Every structure is written in C-alpha cells, then in structure tokens.
Amino acid sequence: MSRFLDKSVLITGGGRGLGHQLAVDFAREGANVTVNYSSSAAAADETVKRITETGGQAIACHADIARLDDVTAMVEQVVTTYGGVDILINNAGLSIDKPFLELSEKDWDQAMGVNLKGPFLLSQAVGRLMVAAGQGRIVNISAATAIQARIGNANYAASKAGLNMLTQSMALELGPHVTVNAVGLGFVDSALVRELFTPEQIEQAKDNVPVKRMTTYEETSAFVLMLASDTASFVTGQTIPFDGGGVMR
C-alpha cells in the first residue's frame, strides 16, 4: 500500500505507544516520517531504526511542544528535510491522575501544556504551511473522557475537551483544503493502561461498552491513517469516538 507515498508526516510523541505504531504504519505506506519526542531519545531512535531498516524514511526530532521556540525549530527542521508537512498527528499526551482537590498548579499546567497548548502551537505553525500549500490533514488524538469525565482526571479531561473545540475552530478557519479531525480514544490495551488501572477496573471498562473489549494500537492506528487519507477528505471538524460504543452509556 502507498496511500502516503512521499507525504511528510509529523507525529508528536512518536517514539512510544500509539505514536510508535503510527510512525511505523505511515512509513510502511510510503510516508516520510518525523518522530517527535520530548524526553526519550532512545525510544524515538528505536522507532526511526525500525523504519529505516525496512527501507522507510524517518528522522527523530526533539521538541517540547509546549515551548514556541522548540516548535518553530522542529518545523524548520522538517521543512528543510522533507520540504514541508502534509500531515500532522497531535498524538503526544500527558495524564496526571489525582483527586481534584489534590491537583497542584503544576499538575494542571503540565497537562494543559502537552495536551492543549502543544497542539495549538504546532497546528498553528504547520497550519500556515498547509494553507499556503493548499492542502493538509491534521488529526488530534483526544479521549473519551473529554465527553464523559471520570474521577481523578479533571486536568486531563479538561485539556482534551479543549482539544475537541480547538479541532472545530481550526477546521472552520483552515478550510477548505486543510481538514482537521480528532479521535476520542477509549481504553487501549497497553502497558500504560494496565499500569494505571487494576484488573477489576479494566474488566469493568470492557463490560461497559457494547463490543466488550479494549482496542489495540494497531486498530487505532489504522483508523487514524484512514482519517489522514483522501478517503476522509469530506470529513472535518469532527471528534469521532473510538471507544467501542462507550459514549452511548
């Protein structure tokens, strides 16, 4: 498959988890991938190595997406390397779960910085390029908790709810040739989920959705790639729940 042949794809948080899967899958379909990271150079380098060993094109790029100078430098590097940015995946996310009354200002600012300010800064920088080029796709990775809050998750839920509205606002202003959508993730079967939640909580979460299971990185990545492809060129401004039907409960 070569849906993204020679397309430049920038993925934040691309060294781990869903970001890693997205990077590998986009590269497999012909894209030139930029793997952004903020803390783990080793993970980003491993993702790049996996891609290049199979004949793909990828670079790793350090940037704290909540810092404008870092964002500007990263976008300049991508433009220098690949000529522009065709697809932006705002995947990086930070969850600091605590009871509402125990959340510190730092906890709030860190979650907002990664989950909302980062996508704003990066989408603005990349959006200018896309509008000038007359084409582009932006996909934001949101969460089901932006619609249905859960205890101990106020900062994360609020940041993702803001991301959903940012998605709509960008779609209105960056059209007609740039589309912007978000994916509202439910539970993803991953090491992180199994670290954050007890087996009982996971079983309850699965029982609460019609499909009675969690999704996977592979399944989620396939959905994101579809949204970034020409197949979804008539879809914009949407936050699409990808939660096994949990939003109905």
Q: Break the chain into its structural domains and give their ranges.
A: 8-186+216-242
Between the alpha carbon of residue 248 and those of residues 40, 45, 207, 224, 243, the distances in Å are 37, 40, 13, 21, 10
Q: Is there a contact between 211 and 205 (Cβ–Cβ < 8 Å)?
A: no
The closest alpha carbon to 54, from 33, 75, 28, belongs to: 28
State yes or no: is 156 an active-site residue.
yes
**Residue range 73-87, pLDDT digits in tens:** 999 999 999 999 999
Of the ranges 34-43, 76-85, 196-205, 210-219, which one carries the lowest mean pLDDT score? 196-205
Decide which of 3.30.450.20, 3.40.50.11440, 3.40.50.720, 3.90.550.10 is the CATH code for 8-186+216-242.
3.40.50.720
The chain-wide mean pLDDT, for the chain, equals 96
Catalytic residue among 37, 82, 156, 217: 156
pTM above 0.75, yes or no: yes
- Is the distance from CB of 136 to CB of 88 less than 8 angstroms? yes
Q: So what's the pLDDT on residue 1? A: 66
